[in-house]
Amino acid sequence: MNGPESLYLVGGLLVTFSILASRVSAKVGMPLLPLFLGIGMLAGEDGLGIEFHNYALANVISQLGLAIILFDGGLRTRMKTFRVGLRPALSLATLGVFLTSGLTGLVAMWIFGLSPLEGLLVGAIVGSTDAAAVFSMVSGAGIKLNERVGATLEIESGTNDPMAIFLTIMLSEMLIGSLGSPIATIFMFVQQFGIGLAFGIGFGWLFGRLLKWLELAPGLYSLLAVALGVVLFSITNMLGGSGFLAIYLAGLLIGNMRGRHLEFILPVNDGLAWLSQIGLFITLGLLVTPSAMFDYAVPAAVVALALIFVARPLAVVLCLRPFFGFRWKELTFISWVGLRGAVPIVLAIVPVITGVENSALYFNVAFFVVLISLLLQGTTLAPLARWLKIVVPEGVTPLRRRLLDVLPDDNYEMFIYRIDSKRVEDIPLRMLRFPSGSTIAALFRDRQMIHPKGSTRLRHDDLACVIGISDDLPALNKLFDGEARLRQEREFYGAFTLEGDAPMRDVADAYGLTLSESERDRTLGEFIAHRVGGYPVVGDDIDWHGIHWVVNEVDGNRVIRVGLRLH
């Protein structure tokens, strides 16, 4: 069978098999991204015999896939995470990539007998973390990281591609002798970041306002958002900027403009991001010829292990420890989550299409580094996070939430909770302390709708439909917190909590603690915030006078509540 039908059949079967295989991998704990890569390899030249060596087409597919993945990552990143994550993430995304690339390049130069430029090109190709890998594996691990670590990893993976791309293009041009003057090189660097930053923020704000203002059919919002993102990605690249940075920032701005458009954009874009990951990794797997890679296996593995255990940890420590007050356990985890994914393989295509000598080496080394990183680091994220104790309890959230969109500028939503708390069961609704302005609009019990009254009593497994605003969520979540989650929180934060505005002199007198004169004038929240470096997050703890003092709630940089957990 020839013609487009065979292409449609093969493409449909590969995507179908990838999705179905993902269910099996979830049950056995195997990361999804290497699974997609493996399916591409099995379908390739040494497997089912599909020959695909079109690097230019693979580059086009890969760049589009990465752009959509970054756009989706930006849509789901909350602006509040920038409070603690922006500065350290930018340090890792620039200086960190440079250091990681340089150290890895030295190892590659030694192990493969390359020239300094060739070795550094290997380092540049594998030097950045991958947004697709970080976004999917951290969320798929089923853990909630403390905000300092989670925000840093999230922002770093979304913003570090421009540095890696710049280094790869610069070194490739140097190897083929087409690099311009040093001034031109510096100009290219500034151009990449400057245009990407300006266009991403400027057009992201405009796109967000446009999507919020337009009245469209529900299915058109997501299509328009993706189309605008791709247009921005293309124009930014045409002007010499970083399209990846621009589309990530545009997604960030759009995703933080609350409105009905997000309800229609996020679910569809999630599917598009998954399709992009599947297509991206299958395409890259098809490019690989396993039988031609054995000669590179051992030295490439040495490069990968040097990157994972030496280059990345050193770069993280040098970029974060002196300036941002990260604790060693946090630095250890951030070092380990230097996941490599599609980006290194995509960058390894650059030497091929620019005509760099011995380009097969760069592609095969990048492939081995990615495979080892995903299998070694990706499978151990959750156990390591729990062992290092940087995981915080997952609080209750609504089963579903939907913006009511009754008035053009209102922000009232419907929150649906399943009742699983003895604190609210069998208690009349009028006795429950709902946030001002929130109310239960309907109850569903045994598949029947009940019109609630003040005397109505909640029962276990009832579904409560609550109308309120997003500012009510913390209070509502606390009200409907389940028993299992409450036990987890007590184990993590301790059985007792104190208010952050409690004077330290009173706390010291009550618990027999010793304070300096300056410390006695502070509140408990100020004391804890100072001890953790001035940017407290939920889950921060200090071991002081035989007690673990655990940050339970924050508002900006202000500690609201502190838990006491005895040894």
- pLDDT by residue (tens digit) across 140-185? 666 778 888 888 888 888 778 778 888 888 888 888 876 666 777 7
Q: Among 350, 321, 313, 323, which residue's Cα sits nearest to residue 171?
A: 350
pTM given for the model: 0.80
- pLDDT by residue (tens digit) across 269-328? 888 888 888 888 788 778 777 777 777 888 989 999 999 999 999 999 999 887 777 888
Q: Is 401 helix (H, G, I), strand (E, B) or coil?
A: strand
Pull the structure tokens for residue 567: 């040894």
DSSP designation for 265: H
| Residues composing the chain | 567
**Of the ranges 39-53, 100-114, 396-410, 434-448, the best mean pLDDT one:** 100-114
Query: What does the buried/exposed string (b/e) look like for 219-239 if buried means 16 or more CB atoms within 10 Å of the residue's CB?
Result: eebbbbbbebbbebbbebbee
Distance CA 142, CA 438 (A): 31
Contact between residue 421 and residue 456 where contact means Cβ atoms under 8 Å apart:
no
What average pLDDT does this structure show over 82-111? 88
Which pLDDT score, from 0 to 100, does residue 303 have? 92
Pull the structure tokens for residue 7: 């292409």
Query: What are the two backbone dihedrals, phi and then psi, of residue 212, each rounded to the nearest 5 degrees?
Result: -75, -30
- pLDDT by residue (tens digit) across 234-251? 999 999 888 888 998 999
Pull the structure tokens for residue 507: 């706390």
- What is each CA distance from 440 to 103, 398, 401, 454, 486, in whole angstroms? 59, 13, 14, 10, 23
Question: What residue spans of 160-259 are helical by DSSP H?
Answer: 161-175, 182-213, 218-238, 243-255
- pLDDT by residue (tens digit) across 423-432? 778 888 888 8
| pLDDT band, residue 232 (cuts 50/70/90) | very high
Distance CA 246, CA 234 (A): 10
Distance CA 321, CA 243 (A): 31
One-character DSSP codes across 119-138: HHHHHHHT-S--HHHHHHHH
Pull the structure tokens for residue 465: 């439909």
One-character DSSP codes across 20-53: HHHHHHHHHT--HHHHHHHHHHHHSTTTT-----
